[in-house]
Amino acid sequence: MSSTTTFARPSPKISIAKLSFPAPRVLLVKISRPTALNAIAISGSWELASLFEWFDEEPSLWVSIVTGEGRTFSAGADLKAWNDEIGSGSFGEMPSSGFAGLSRRTGKKPVIAAVNGIAYGGGFEAVVNCDLVIASATAKFCFPEVKRGVAPFAGAMPRLIRTIGKQRAMELMLTGRVLPAQEAKEWALVNVVCPEGRDVVEEALKWAKMIAENSPDSVIVTKQGINWGWEGVGADEGTRISNSLWHHKLLAGDNIKEGLQAFVEKRNPKWTDSKL
């Protein structure tokens, strides 16, 4: 898949990132401001928000990977632009999906973070809310906001505690210390740390392909069910909501029929693009 002509509608125009399609059903988003350590201004977050909204609605794309160009995933907010905006009184609002369109995103389809270098501030906030995190051995994570007189307002403050607990979240956010990739894995913030010499995007692509081998309907419904717990809904209430919203839609779709028939016939299923 190499041309937007295969899409239901063209992707939005993006200046902040490079787009590619390294495997069927997979979108790769490479944040591309390497000379600025992939720092993102508010306008860039709006661009990426529109991109991930398009991804959710594009039937032929089932999984996305986000990474950074060069040696950095993202150093966070573009503080030079932020300083100019604060000084001029023209500070803009972040999109509802947060920093990079990811830190508060509740979209339908999974996004994998391929953290190729430092993920600081908003970059780290985006990673916290991604669905899988694959990190290079040299990746580093940090919330330096307390050292700049600001705070991580893009969604990570209430979310981080759900992954690593109160004391560890306090440790990271109140001290601004740097967290190495291996320690982040031990804290359950990272799924896989790539060994030295292995490309982190290639590793993320391996996981994206595994997800894309499954029913896209099931992936969407399962991600939504997990998200209810992530957003703080109790287990019984989350189950009730998931069942009421998705159960009948899943049963009415073509992919559940194909999956069950393939099991009976002892063959691999042939999934179709989700209509959910």
Say if strands 111-115 and 132-135 run parallel, antiparallel, or are unpaired: parallel
Residue of 44, 58, 139, 145 with catalytic role: 145
Digit-coded pLDDT (tens) for 31-59: 999 999 999 999 999 999 999 999 999 99
Digit-coded pLDDT (tens) for 114-150: 999 999 999 999 999 999 999 999 999 999 999 988 8
Residue 90 has pLDDT above 80, yes or no: no
Say if strands 118-120 and 140-142 run parallel, antiparallel, or are unpaired: parallel
Residue 224 has pLDDT above 80, yes or no: yes
Residue 243 has pLDDT above 60, yes or no: yes
Residue 228 has pLDDT above 80, yes or no: yes
User: Active-site residue 149, yes or no?
Assistant: no
Whether residue 36 contacts residue 95, with contact meaning beta carbons closer than 8 Å, is answered with no
User: Active-site residue 77, yes or no?
Assistant: yes
Least confident of 9-13, 75-79, 86-90, 109-113: 86-90
Return d(Cα 63, Cα 189) in angstroms, integer.
20
Mean pLDDT of 157-180: 95
The C-alpha angle 76, 82, 88, rounded to 5 degrees, equals 175
- Note the pLDDT of residue 87: 52
Return d(Cα 178, Cα 152) in angstroms, integer.
15
- Note the pLDDT of residue 167: 97
Residue of 47, 58, 125, 203 with catalytic role: 125
- Note the pLDDT of residue 4: 45
- Note the pLDDT of residue 3: 43
Provide the H-helix boundaries in the chain. Answer: 42-57, 79-88, 122-128, 156-164, 166-175, 181-186, 200-212, 216-230, 235-242, 248-252, 254-265
The type of residue at 140 is: K
Say if strands 132-135 and 72-74 run parallel, antiparallel, or are unpaired: unpaired
- Note the pLDDT of residue 189: 97
Confidence at 112, pLDDT banded by 50, 70, 90: very high
User: Active-site residue 68, yes or no?
Assistant: no
- Note the pLDDT of residue 97: 96
Residue 156 has pLDDT above 60, yes or no: yes
Say if strands 26-31 and 17-23 run parallel, antiparallel, or are unpaired: antiparallel
- Using DSSP, state whether 179 is helix, strand or coil: strand
Residue of 122, 123, 155, 253 with catalytic role: 122
**pTM value?**
0.92
User: Active-site residue 125, yes or no?
Assistant: yes
Residue of 77, 113, 139, 154 with catalytic role: 77
Look-up: residue for tokens 């989700």?
A: 274
Look-up: residue for tokens 């916290």?
A: 128
